[in-house]
Amino acid sequence: MLKNVPKTLLLFAFFAFLFNSCGSTSKISTKSTTYRKSTTTKKNKNTSAYLLRKQVIDYAKRQEGSKYKYGGMNRSGFDCSGLSCFVMKKVNKTLPHNSTAQSKQGKKIPIKQAQAGDLVFFGRNGKVNHVAIVLENNGRELKVIHSTSSRGVIIEDVLRSSYWKPKLMFAGNILDSY
């Protein structure tokens, strides 16, 4: 039956169907949405800030599963500040290899404002002793990647952790600072 229909007519019908079904029925929303200041880079995916933060997240996630190694700064093993040093170096940001020293870099920000790619600091009695890289912060969960002495490099929601949540101190924006 189809042998009698010219191929060009079939192609025309196919493309007419394809173009008609793809966009003609989509709705255009005219609502304006207000985003928290801390999430604005998520919406504009073409900005250099967004791309830089995405690179940080991608490099950090590639290290998941690495072993913990005191003083470690490479795939054979990381300590917490070694992981953040390694990842930030991949995007041409230099950090000291010490969580306390890293906490003094960049701009100190409240945890609520932390974005993907920022650092979050933990400690006791006002003294920083651990650092992690923020992967996601939506107010209900704070997903980070960090190197722990017991489990190595892991992704974890620290707001659901009875160990890490009470030790949360503040975040640091390293990427927009210099």
Q: Is 97 a known active-site residue?
A: no
Residues facing 147 on adjacent strands: 153
Residue-level pLDDT at 25: 30
Q: Is 80 a known active-site residue?
A: yes
pLDDT along the chain (178 residues), means of 10: 50 38 29 33 67 96 98 96 97 96 96 97 97 96 97 98 98 84
Residue-level pLDDT at 47: 86
Residue-level pLDDT at 7: 53
Domain spans of the chain, in order of start: 40-173
Residue-level pLDDT at 149: 96
**How far apart, in whole angstroms, are the C-alpha atoms of residue 156 and residue 137?**
12
pTM of the model: 0.74
Residue-level pLDDT at 46: 58
Residue-level pLDDT at 43: 52
Residue-level pLDDT at 120: 98
Residue-level pLDDT at 94: 96
Q: Residues 22, 85, 97, 130: which is the catalytic one?
A: 130
What's the fold here for domain 40-173?
A: endopeptidase fold (from Nostoc punctiforme) (3.90.1720)
Q: Is 130 a known active-site residue?
A: yes
Residue-level pLDDT at 4: 54
